[in-house]
Structure 1
Amino acid sequence: MDWLRIGAFGLLIIYHVGLVFAPWNFEPKDRAAYEWVTIPLVFTNSWRLSLLFAISGYASAALLARERVVGAFLRSRLARLGIPLAFGTALIVAPQPWAALAGEHGYPHGFGYFLIHDYFRFGRIDGVLVPDWAHLWFVGYLLVYTFVLGALWSLPPHLRSALRRGAERVLAGPWLLPAGMAFVLVARLLPPGWSDTRALVDDASAHAVYLSSFLFGVLLRRSEALRLAILRQWKIAGLLGLAGYLVVAGFEARFHGSVPRDLLAPFLIARAVQSWGMIVALFGIADRYWNRDGAWRATLAEAVFPFYIVHQTIIMLVNFWLADSAIGAPGRFAILIAATAGGCWLFYLVGREIGPLRPLIGLKRTHARAFPLHAPAEAVPAE
């Protein structure tokens, strides 16, 4: 599961760099947009976040089993998720709206002035929300889902067992793929559809999918029957997921995101098939081929959360500085990838060695050490 999580977050960073060059609504934006960039992007955008929430559910179930007491588990999760969320929103994310205002709206002041005088207005400046949790919405949603798990765990044991058995009857057998795909399809018919608001209170379709993905991960951690069902069906799930992608990519190449109403049904079905098929396939691949340790596994697993906290701010600032350069798009893409990877590593390596910074970037309060190859097993975060 660590390798799957490491790979998923690495793919997320590449995806966000790719969004810079796509014509979709995303900040930061390159000075030119390329329609063809959307074709590789749609390979992941229907399932990448659901996969991350499912992995987080699996890890949360493991942590809850270790803590045993719901209150202790929730306090631990509140510290490991809530502190980085507050710190990230207050400081790490702040350069993003500043760069958007300075680059697109002619904001005349430097970042220091913006942070002191304008960032905490709690409103909008030229349509740009301040303050904003930006990409850290994922952490906020995950924190809410963690408390949902705590509430479910507080139910009487016989009721919890009944819920688990009911879920296993549906998912740990031949209905794993059709039931999951049908659920994603129906859930995404809720408002706002496939376009998440990421504002927590008006995101019904996202909560339906992401909370269910999170609870699917919880069930997987506790259900050998479900694990074996995934191992039996991951190959067909992968084929269906790839077939769904080919259909979605065809629609994107033909209609550039504006699918005609009379063709909307097959498009939405293909996205649901792609989403659930790829999630099941990746869990099966991870179980079959990645269930082994490696020299860098623990260090990379610990680094994932700090990487996530800082990566989008680095992308936005580097793209802001590249805005007036004569470097072509391939060069700008390479620079963004290299700068983001290097900046994330520096953020993690420095932060992990400074005790007071560790909880601010999602790491446990352990004594700083001199750059060990392996992170201590108990320090591996599971967000």
Structure 2
Amino acid sequence: MNSTRHYGMDWLRIGAFALLILYHIGMYFVPWGWHVKIAEPLDWVTIPMLATNGWRLALLFLVSGYASAALFAKLGGSGAFARSRSARLLVPLAFGIIFIIPPQPWIELVGQHGYSHGFLHFWTRDYFRFGALDGIILPTWQHLWFVVYLWVYTMFAALLLALIPEPARMKFTSIAAGALRGWRMLVAPLVLWVLIYVLFPTHDETHALFDDGPSHLHYLVPFFVGWLLRVRPALFETVARYWKVALLLALLAFVPVAWIEWTWPGNMVAPDWVFPPYHLARLVNGWMTIVALLGIADRWWNRDHPKRAMLAEAVFPFYIIHQTIIVVVGWYLLRANVAALPSFLILLAATVTGCWLFYWIGRSIGWLRPLIGLQRQ
């Protein structure tokens, strides 16, 4: 591993979180279940949503694995690495669960379950019940499940790094990197994903940690690949050779996904024979898109910019606050019966403005910084 910073991975992380915000805005308009929905959902919005659905979260875990490997090398030990990750992830997680998340389940309960009490009553009397209310487990981490999973994966990595001697780690990473060189970069992770699907074909992600084993296996694959990209940067040479092929395969694989969704839109139930090719095509589309994006980031985005450091720092605060803004603003748009296009524009403007205000205010107040995921000054 060398100490040269790969700016392309920073831009990939920034872009992935920006896409996540757009995706959650889109959840207001699609017929899929969510905390708050427009009165008349739009079936066609599912097509662009599905274009990112197979890879956006896996990409986040990949860039997180890359960043985790860089941090471990910087800190020089498993204990320091575990303490650093716990402070940066668990503190804003607790802050988010207590103060940022509560409006989301309250709006869902009021809008979809007939909950009759106001927000303050809900927050002080019902939210911290540590049990279910109309099927919703409270308190909840909602979209911050990613932080929970990432912390678990980094603690798992810290434990392995503490238990395995360095010579054995070096040998293992060399073998693993060899398994990803050449065309195997396209095939090996995809084979693991397909195997997980074959073993657990009916599993749906729960984001509840303890009953989500197949999802953990699925996300650990890109997390480990991201780690390998940092400790064996020569793998970027393989990415450079094959990303165009991956991009073509990703586009071809999305064709059956889009056709199936268009043929059986919204909540229409498709025949049983549709599901295996649909999920397999999504897996191919997902991994090939990730390889293609890695190639694009390595080829064109591996350069610094005056705004890069600020944007990279702002990503975590944006992530913490964005969904609550979307749900709250969407709730008022729904009650005002605002049409789809103005709703989208208002949601986009309000979310971007709210995220920037949350970041700018939080970073200027010393005691708030660790609560919103920033380092102490």
**Fold match, TM over 0.5?**
yes
Partner in structure 1 of residue 224 of structure 2: 215
Pairwise CA distance, 1:81: 0.3
Q: Whole-Å Cα distance in 1 between the matches of residues 35 and 247 of structure 2?
A: 32
One-letter identity of the residue aligned with 1:20: Y
One-letter identity of the residue aligned with 1:350: I
Partner in structure 1 of residue 176 of structure 2: 167
Partner in structure 1 of residue 324 of structure 2: 313
Maintained 8 Å contact 2:260/2:274: no
Determine if the alignment matches structure 1 residue 285 to structure 2 residue 293: no
Pairwise CA distance, 1:192: 6.7
The 3-state SS of whatever aligns with 2:132 is strand
Q: Which runs of 5+ in 1 are unaligned?
A: 367-383
Partner in structure 2 of residue 115 of structure 1: 123
TM-score by length of 1: 0.92
Partner in structure 1 of residue 306 of structure 2: 295
Partner in structure 1 of residue 101 of structure 2: 93
Task: Judge which range, 290-299 or 260-269, deviates more.
Answer: 260-269
Q: CA 1:193 to 1:237, structure 2 compared with 1: closer, same or farther past 3 Å? A: farther
Pairwise CA distance, 1:255: 2.0
Determine if the alignment matches structure 1 residue 322 to structure 2 residue 322: no
Aligned ranges 1:1-383 → 2 under 5 Å = 1-154=9-162, 155-191=164-200, 193=202, 195-256=204-265, 258-366=269-377
Maintained 8 Å contact 1:192/1:205: no
Question: What are the Cα deviations for residues 50-70 of structure 1, in whole angstroms up to 9, with x where unaligned?
Answer: 000000000010000000011
Structure with the larger RCO, 1 or 2 (CA within 8 Å, 6+ apart): 2
The 3-state SS of whatever aligns with 2:27 is helix
The 3-state SS of whatever aligns with 2:137 is strand
Question: What are the Cα deviations for residues 310-343 of structure 1, in whole angstroms up to 9, with x where unaligned?
Answer: 1111111001111121421111111111111111
Question: What are the Cα deviations for residues 2-51 of structure 1, in whole angstroms up to 9, with x where unaligned?
Answer: 11111110011101111111011222222121111100000001110000
Maintained 8 Å contact 2:25/2:348: yes
Maintained 8 Å contact 1:22/1:38: yes
Pairwise CA distance, 1:167: 1.1
Maintained 8 Å contact 1:64/1:70: yes
Pairwise CA distance, 1:203: 0.9
What is the number of equivalent residue pairs in this alignment? 366
Maintained 8 Å contact 1:54/1:216: yes
The 3-state SS of whatever aligns with 1:171 is coil
Maintained 8 Å contact 1:192/1:203: no
Task: Judge which range, 222-231 or 1-10, deviates more.
Answer: 222-231
The 3-state SS of whatever aligns with 1:44 is helix
One-letter identity of the residue aligned with 2:321: V
Q: Share of identical aligned residues, percent?
A: 51
Q: Whole-Å Cα distance in 2 between the matches of residues 192 and 9 of structure 1?
A: 28
Q: Whole-Å Cα distance in 1 between the matches of residues 344 and 137 of structure 2?
A: 27
Pairwise CA distance, 1:202: 1.1
Question: What are the Cα deviations for residues 178-212 of structure 1, in whole angstroms up to 9, with x where unaligned?
Answer: 22222222223344756311011111221011112
Q: Which runs of 5+ in 2 are unaligned?
A: 1-8
Q: Whole-Å Cα distance in 2 between the matches of residues 166 and 261 of structure 1?
A: 40
Q: CA 1:209 to 1:118, structure 2 compared with 1: closer, same or farther past 3 Å? A: same
